[in-house]
Structure 1
């Protein structure tokens, strides 16, 4: 970007106006793009803390009359992974909601992945009746970020204060392996409801742990999705009985402080998928999925209210829906989002 072009724009930092959404309320005043509060560093395991610095699920909303928008930022980690491209791991994604037509639109950005990453969204029209939503990277940590528009253009951050839907999960919920941030299933779900989505998913480390459950309990949530089964396989160190106890404890921890909040449990999205030849893997996913279904039925029988369940069959993945069997591709993300949407619609507008 030339100096001349830079001088024609004015830039806005979301952190300056507490405009970052998609994270716990107690993080509103934090001056970074992480998902965990500073005091959690001593309470969670090291990989959870590191993954918590990733900006998965975070977004900012704004209104402008500019027909060209530039986003520039810097990340701290590697740009991509073997099974996930740079635009998914480290990219941003720009949507807008047309408040008249009541529909979402999407803008393609011309991107440059250098020391400073830039996205230029050019000739997108003067959309004064739109609210823009910029999704941040799924698998990288943002060091700083600015949004630029022409000097003569209007710009303001907006923020929707609603009861959030909280997702506690694994790499799949963190966003692996969406090709771009807006196609992570949590972000897809977020475009179907007015509620903010809080992504507390940690790749390889979604285990229903107390420090994370305690953080969930700080929120007055509209719903809590517990989707950790992909990281809770039955092993020599974790029996079916122990997994049942872990699940039961997680549900009761939330229910103790939030007596009416809807809680959604889920099987592994790839369990029982037809057409896969990797039988041993299917058995692993299936064993832990059977446990959570059995636990769900027992909790319901015991009278636990507002408890919901999503099965692998509900997700409906097939051999075209995944990158590496465990992680969904964009088609798989759409299927997972659809399954959750159907459950959430039973009690949310």
Structure 2
């Protein structure tokens, strides 16, 4: 029996001796990027107590950390993270990594290259995961995207004990606001960095602010008033048709753009039709609704032009997620393939608008 206990103790000591000491980097050492306002908001996208006119559901969704990220340089051979979200629940059309996890990129000469992910604990709000290890001990700049569909409560990084660490802040060429539905929010990308606002941000070096509010992008004037407080905006993208009824599209589009023009009189505004939802391939009610949404949206765009509004641009839904019916996870929300197809159409349009 004594021999057995001695063997157990020796085994424990051996395993402990293999654990390397690490530095803990608290989130307070990093600059949260990817949001519209500079106030210290924790990991929320906006100060939800400041904008009383926002619907309660919209306020809650703006506590999600969609589109937020940090950047830093380190020569650590290993990068780990522990974090906590408000809850551990998952939607039935999303991946845990997209909803509650992180993904990391490393800056190379030709842009950002994917490095690894942090997979969340499926049962607990607290998680810990090694994003990437066994790297060369050369200094690299990392970009770390936050969870898309949860309120992030806390996080801290772990790097090698003697590794260097320098927080960085990205310098962008333009600032773009993207207001929209769950598709903007990021459903159903496989990981945070593959939501289409994030992909466009990396593609054109723009500060693309994710204002997706899943299921609740209904063009309330309170949202336009909140957007009006955002400074130095180069482009506003409205990808909100999927959440509006055809009647709401008619009733709210003109007033929403009119409100935006109070603070952004010359800022280009790109209006994007609802994607052609594949759930409507055989569901005639869905097909009819989507058709009416886009018809009404185009009519309101033309009414705005007739009223003398300038710098308005319109993008039809044709081919946005492809024509082979393989671009969504559930007939509505794009897969990574669907998002890539959207980016190939939306990004060139954005680049042309910004050139003008």
Per the TM superposition, whether the score is higher than 0.5 is yes
The equivalent residue for 1:191 is 202
1:89 aligns with 2:99: yes
Query: 1:18–1:260: structure 2 CA closer, same or farther, 3 Å change rule?
Result: farther
| 1:282 Cα deviation from its structure 2 partner | 1.3
The equivalent residue for 1:251 is 257
In structure 1, how many angstroms separate the alpha carbons of the residues matched to 2:70 and 2:286?
Answer: 38
| 1:298 Cα deviation from its structure 2 partner | 2.7
Query: 1:308–1:17: structure 2 CA closer, same or farther, 3 Å change rule?
Result: farther
Alpha-carbon displacement from aligned partner over 1:164-205 (angstroms, at most 9, x marks no partner): 211111111101111111111111111112221111111111
Unaligned runs of 5+ residues in structure 2 are 1-14
Alpha-carbon displacement from aligned partner over 1:126-154 (angstroms, at most 9, x marks no partner): 453x4311111111111101122112111
In structure 1, how many angstroms separate the alpha carbons of the residues matched to 2:291 and 2:301?
Answer: 15
Query: 1:48–1:115: structure 2 CA closer, same or farther, 3 Å change rule?
Result: closer
Report the secondary structure of 1:249's partner residue: helix
The equivalent residue for 1:24 is 36
Of 344, 347, 354, 1:338 maps to 344
- Give the RMSD, CA atoms, in angstroms: 2.3
Query: 1:112–1:141: structure 2 CA closer, same or farther, 3 Å change rule?
Result: closer
In structure 2, how many angstroms separate the alpha carbons of the residues matched to 1:224 and 1:6?
Answer: 49
Structure 1 runs (4+) deviating above 6 angstroms are: 2-7
In structure 1, how many angstroms separate the alpha carbons of the residues matched to 2:339 and 2:106?
Answer: 20
Of 278, 282, 295, 2:283 maps to 278
The equivalent residue for 1:295 is 300
Query: 1:275–1:295: structure 2 CA closer, same or farther, 3 Å change rule?
Result: closer
TM (normalized to structure 1)? 0.88
Query: 1:153–1:222: structure 2 CA closer, same or farther, 3 Å change rule?
Result: same
1:266 aligns with 2:248: no
| 1:6 Cα deviation from its structure 2 partner | 7.9
Q: Is the 8 A contact 2:74 2:165 kept in 1?
A: yes
In structure 2, how many angstroms separate the alpha carbons of the residues matched to 1:193 and 1:170?
Answer: 22
Query: 1:324–1:217: structure 2 CA closer, same or farther, 3 Å change rule?
Result: same
1:76 aligns with 2:86: yes
The equivalent residue for 2:110 is 102
Q: How does 1:198-213 map to 2 (within 5 A)?
A: 198-213=209-224
TM (normalized to structure 2)? 0.87
Q: How does 1:211-226 map to 2 (within 5 A)?
A: 211-219=222-230, 220-226=232-238
Moved more, 290-299 or 157-166: 157-166
1:122 aligns with 2:133: yes
In structure 1, how many angstroms separate the alpha carbons of the residues matched to 2:236 and 2:25?
Answer: 33
In structure 2, how many angstroms separate the alpha carbons of the residues matched to 1:4 and 1:35?
Answer: 42
1:39 aligns with 2:49: yes
Unaligned runs of 5+ residues in structure 1 are none
